Homo-oligomer: A and B are copies of this chain.
């Protein structure tokens, strides 16, 4: 009986593709087994359970996001860095909606601390180096920036901005302008 050549990594990679195609919560072990033309029980040699698959996809997505963000932000500051980070999130979510959803998957604190999510939040903080903000205002700004990026991407992905003028791209671009202006003129506490 020929073997299918499964491995944890191959399953997670295929799971990520599956998630992009059918949605993160439709990326089931059953569907994954079907994709490899293998019985579901066979997957349990490589994954502890379905939570394991989801965690794996989440960690993959965070890695990819952090890699892309680091590359996009390299050598940029101010509005350029801000746009690089924001566009990384938005583009990734549009290219890989399932993975983007996975990146929001609730990890155990321990797993979260060891994930690329940490790198990602360092990059967000790095954007603020181009502006003049001391603690604790810097942290407030990091949180607001993360909220605005994530919120915009989530609402856009949910179709919130799709069926009315003006174009979502236009609003996105102006939102980056606005956030840049805000960081340059952060109100006194």
A interface residue numbers (CB < 8 A to B): 25, 104, 106, 109, 136-137, 139-141, 143-144, 146-152, 154-155, 158-161, 163, 165-166, 168, 170-171, 174-175, 177-182, 185-187, 189
| Residues of chain B within 8 A of A147, CB atoms compared | 147-148, 151-152, 154-155, 175
Cβ contact of A174, chosen from B140, B179, B185, cutoff 8 A: B140
| Residues of chain B within 8 A of A160, CB atoms compared | 143, 146
Give the CA-CA distance A106 to B149 in the complex, in Å. Answer: 20
Q: Is B104 within 8 A of A158, CB to CB?
A: yes
Other than the given A109-B163, A137-B174, A146-B160, 20 more pairs (CB < 8 A) read: A104-B154, A104-B158, A106-B159, A136-B165, A139-B165, A140-B171, A140-B178, A143-B168, A143-B171, A144-B152, A144-B175, A147-B147, A147-B148, A150-B154, A150-B155, A174-B189, A177-B189, A178-B186, A181-B185, A185-B185
Nearest B-chain residue to A142, judged by Cβ: B171
The smallest beta-carbon distance between A82 and chain B, in angstroms, is 13
Q: Is B155 within 8 A of A146, CB to CB?
A: yes
Nearest B-chain residue to A181, judged by Cβ: B187
The smallest beta-carbon distance between A140 and chain B, in angstroms, is 4
| Residues of chain B within 8 A of A159, CB atoms compared | 106
Q: Is B104 within 8 A of A143, CB to CB?
A: no
Q: A175-B147, A187-B181, A189-B174 are in contact. Are A140 and B166 (CB under 8 A)?
A: yes
Which of the listed residues A151, A154, A160 has the most CB atoms from chain B within 10 Å of its own CB? A151
| Residues of chain B within 8 A of A151, CB atoms compared | 146-152, 154
| Residues of chain B within 8 A of A104, CB atoms compared | 154, 158
